[in-house]
Amino acid sequence: MSSKQRVAILGSTGSIGTNTLEVIRAHPERFEVVALTAAKQVERLAEQCIEFKPRLAVVGDAASAKKLSELLLAKQISTTVLYGSEALISAVLESDCDTVMAAIVGAAGLLPTLAAAKAGKRVLLANKEALVMSGKLFMDAMREGGGALLPIDSEHNAIFQCLPVHFSKSPSLHHGVEELWLTASGGPFRNTPLSELGQATPEQACAHPNWVMGKKISVDSATMMNKGLEVIEAYWLFGLPIEKIQVLIHPQSVVHSMVRYCDGSVIAQMGQPDMRTPIAYGLAWPDRIVAGVEPLSLTQLTALNFTEPDLLRFPCLSLAFQAGKQGGLAPAVLNAANEIAVAAFLDNALGYVQISEVVERVLNGIEPTVASSLEDILEADAKARTMAIDVIQHLHS
Ligand code: NAD
Ligand code: MG
């Protein structure tokens, strides 16, 4: 039996997925890829399968599966090809993996990520939407499964690094932690005159000043919904009240987040804005491995600035704080409405400033009840999506 860590990557063709494979490629003695999944990018997935030879590969539909099987057969690769959402769970449970990189974007990643948590896998969590939607349910599943949970989102990975090692074993003791400070670049529209935001295009919204990411998270970074989702993510991961989680605009993206302690200390994690750092940390924890990232040169930095976010410019951030404080199903509703609004914006079917309008109307239109089961969460998600589509249609009529 191999002593290598066996890794399944959910969403291997995306930005996080390809960065994960880059880190793994540099450490063949430590890691073995046993499952890869993608929605539609069959050619890219085929290349990954040819290189890493996983046992299982999963795509979104039958036509993509047929194409992938043909591409792999031509290269005599014996990877089993499956398709559909149930097969994503097979990639977690039947690939004999130890570690699951949860890097599908949006609610589509919820069920396989939950399956990984319940099965006691080591979960590398990039898919923040899954945690925002299912909060307590997901954290309970992790505890019951007994696997390690490593945050990959750079801010949460930074905070994880700045907390005492024993923190996650007894977060309720707080260990002297007073506040978590999440940094945010402010995105491409940080200084755009408010009067011009109405004309903002998907291309402009996706042109992030510091990070290269998938389209959905790039738009979320422009609206700062991303930071809002991250506040809720931090609440579940680290168990501090929302009031103790602060957001700071830090345009240089060098300090990835900070923890303020009761003795006056503030501990920060710094580095290049490169996701290979948190990915390598998650893969190798508690060790550290080379991530292929340029060293940070402090002498080449001219300044590190921190300011409070302007909530008039970033209404999505306020809405996320509102949903986080409401609790229950509100974060799932917020997330679903945002996913629909962002997809419509990327499709040129909704204006940039209307993203927050859609989210606000849906969030205020649905009664925030308690999230007691997965069914409740999926029902709230579906209801919020339908309502968001209605709101968008009304905005057009
Ligand atoms: P991406 O769009 O680049 O990639 C998404 C991946 O998920 C792709 O492999 C795609 O094929 C797959 N996918 C998409 N829809 C799917 C569906 N319905 N069913 C199955 N698979 C599907 O996204 P990304 O930027 O890599 O982000 C992935 C996740 O990581 C997101 O939740 C994001 O918030 C989080 N994250 C990303 C970054 C980053 O730097 N990119 C940083 C922090 C957190
Ligand atoms: Mg982040």
- Please identify, by atom number, the ligand 1 atom nearest to the C-alpha of residue 211: 40
CA of 246 to the centre of ligand 2 (A): 14
Question: Which positions ≥6 away from 126 have C-beta within 8 Å?
Answer: 11, 16, 101, 102, 103, 152, 153
Would strands 122-125 and 31-37 be described as parallel, antiparallel, or unpaired?
unpaired
Domain that holds residue 54: 5-151
Q: Which ligand is nearest to the CA of 125?
A: 1
pLDDT band with cut points at 50, 70 and 90 for residue 305: very high
166 lies in some domain: no
pLDDT single digits (tens) 36-64: 999 999 999 999 999 999 999 999 999 99
Q: How far apart are CA 258 and CA 372, in angstroms?
A: 32
- β-strand pairing of 177-184 with 56-59: unpaired
Give 62-99 pLDDT, tens digit per residue.
999 999 999 999 999 999 999 999 999 999 999 999 99
Instruction: Report the atom number in ligand 1 closest to the C-alpha of 218.
Output: 25
Q: Whose atoms come closest to the Cα of 213: which ligand?
A: 1
- Is 26 within the bounds of a domain? yes
Residue 260 lies in a domain: no
DSSP strand pairing (122-125 vs 245-249): unpaired
What are the pLDDT digits (tens) for 320-361? 999 999 999 999 999 999 999 999 999 999 999 999 999 999
**Ligand 1 in contact with 113 (CB < 6 A)?**
no
Q: Is residue 165 part of a domain?
A: no
In a domain, 67, yes or no: yes
User: Which ligand is the nearest neighbour of the Cα of 156?
Assistant: 2
* Domain-embedded: residue 42: yes
**Average of pLDDT values for 206-223?**
93
Report the CATH number at residue 79: 3.40.50.720
Q: Is position 212 within any domain?
A: no
Does 361 fall in a domain? Answer: no
Our count of domains for the chain comes to 1
Residue nearest to atom 23 of ligand 1 (CA): 214
Q: Which of 213, 275, 281, 293 to mutate to test the pocket of ligand 1 (most atoms within 8 A of CB)?
A: 213
What's residue 2's pLDDT? 61
CB count within 10 Å of CB 304 equals 14
